[in-house]
Amino acid sequence: MKTVHQKKQRPWGHYIKFFQESGVWVKRVEVNKGERISLQKHDHRSEKWVIVSGEGLVTINKVTTYVSNGSVIDIPLHCRHRIANIGKKPLVFIEVACGDRLTENDIERFDDDYKRVK
């Protein structure tokens, strides 16, 4: 078991990775007001998001859903997804990722407000 507390800044906000071991990691993700993550997919991990506070729109494979505190989102392997903060305060969620290869490099971006699409 490995406990980590890595805070990583991103153009849309930041995340803190609390825990990682073989096959799983847990993060606290905070998306700033008016920001959104890139439209992306993962080839080696699925994710579950539990919304802690704020309001957002989650898109999974062209289906968009409103979320707020208590919402739980399932993001299967290979699904295109993104979350946008539509509220007046930070959007906070807990991410649990499971997969055979957990790395930040397992991101294929399709649309990104910050010009990170390769």
* Domain edges within the chain: 3-111
- Closest by Cα among 83, 89, 93 to 56: 83
Q: 3-111 — its CATH code?
A: 2.60.120.10
53: Cα within 13 Å, side-chain hemisphere: 7
pTM: 0.93
**Local structure of residue 23 (DSSP, 8 states):** T
Structure tokens at 78: 């290979």
**Tens of pLDDT along 10-49?**
999 999 999 999 999 999 999 999 999 999 999 999 999 9
In angstroms, the CA 94 to CA 78 distance is 20
**Tens of pLDDT along 65-110?**
999 999 999 999 999 999 999 999 999 999 999 999 999 999 999 9
Give the angle subtended at the CA of 97 by the CAs of 36 and 83, to the nearest 5°: 15
